[in-house]
Amino acid sequence: MLSINSGGQSGADLAGLLAAERCGIKTGGWAPKGYRTEKGKQFILKTRFGLKEHSDWRYDPRTRLNVEESDVTVILSPISNSSGTKLTIGACNNTQPKKPYLLISDVSNAELCVEDIVNFLEQHKPNIINIAGNRETVYPGLTRIGRDILSQALEQYKTHLNKTKGSTDQSGV
């Protein structure tokens, strides 16, 4: 079953959760202790999106867990040298085996972003997708921009999965 993991921060993380919700995809992941975000405690991450509370208040441990518990990571990070993006890429590269990730550093062309994400997902065929990237204060508007891009990409990927499943079911495999 397809699901989206996220750390729940504003910006890219929240965009992933909102896009998944819009597309009827299960959400989850890990948030820091107290469901800490840059906007304060956000218990809605538990009640609405099913995130689990990590015992540590820092962002690093939940970032690593979200990478480890996902098949792939999609990073929406127009400011790609941010500490969070570096941490996420490092977590993908240091997990054994390494976890595939896609870094989207330019979100100005939504159509191209959607195409890149769909191609990445079709190539790796993940069940659990981690969404990470810049927070809203690092790149204002990313929650909305990311939600719209990810909604389109996830709908297209769901359609691809349904077609693949349908052709497999028809062939008797």
Q: What type of residue sits at position 28?
A: G
Measured CA to CA, the distance from residue 73 to residue 85 in angstroms comes to: 11
- For helices 83-94 and 59-68, what crossing angle results, to 10°? 40
Measured CA to CA, the distance from residue 67 to residue 30 in angstroms comes to: 10
Q: What type of residue sits at position 107?
A: V
pLDDT in tens, 43-60: 999 999 999 999 999 999
Helix, strand, coil tally for the chain in percent (to 5): 50, 15, 35
| DSSP-derived secondary structure letter, 127 | S
- Which strand ranges, in their side-by-side order, compose the sheet holding 128-133? 26-28, 3-6, 128-133, 72-76, 101-104
CATH (residue range 3-171): 3.40.50.450
117 close to 150: Cβ distance less than 8 angstroms: yes
Residues 6+ apart with CB under 8 A from 53: 30, 31, 32, 33, 34, 35, 46
Q: What type of residue sits at position 103?
A: L
Q: What are phi and psi of 130, to 5 degrees?
A: -90, 130
pTM of the model: 0.94
Domain ranges of the chain: 3-171
Full pLDDT tens readout for the chain, 173 residues? 899 999 999 999 999 999 999 999 999 999 999 999 999 999 999 999 999 999 999 999 999 999 999 999 999 999 999 999 999 999 999 999 999 999 999 999 999 999 999 999 999 999 999 999 999 999 999 999 999 999 999 999 999 999 987 765 544 43
122 close to 129: Cβ distance less than 8 angstroms: no
Q: Is 135 helix (H, G, I), strand (E, B) or coil?
A: coil
